Amino acid sequence: MDTREMDQLIIEALVACRIYGEDVKMIASEKAASTCDCNRRRIYRWIEDGHLHFIETPDGEVLVCGRSLSRKMDELDSITDRLSERNASVI
């Protein structure tokens, strides 16, 4: 991992989220992907679909709203739980 990639993992800022209207932790897209165990393309897709709030820094880095990321992860966990329950009832 080069220095730029390492820097992306540690970029965090407390910023007012436009959607929540209060200060939330904004994290680098690479760290968001790592947190969700997915790739950055998936993070960008969730941004494009309106599931994640974000800001773009002057140098082009995308920072993701930690609260919207947490909500997305909760949503995915809920879907996984429902699918697991459904599969258990079939067996």
Q: Could you report the per-residue pLDDT of 10-43, keeping only the tens digit for each?
A: 566 667 767 777 788 899 999 999 998 999 999 9
The more confident residue out of 16 and 75 is 75
Domain boundaries, the chain: 3-90
The more confident residue out of 71 and 79 is 71
CATH class of 3-90: mainly alpha
Of all residues in the chain, the percent with pLDDT exceeding 70 is 75
* pLDDT of 2: 46
* pLDDT of 9: 45
Cβ-contact 43, 33 below 8 angstroms: yes
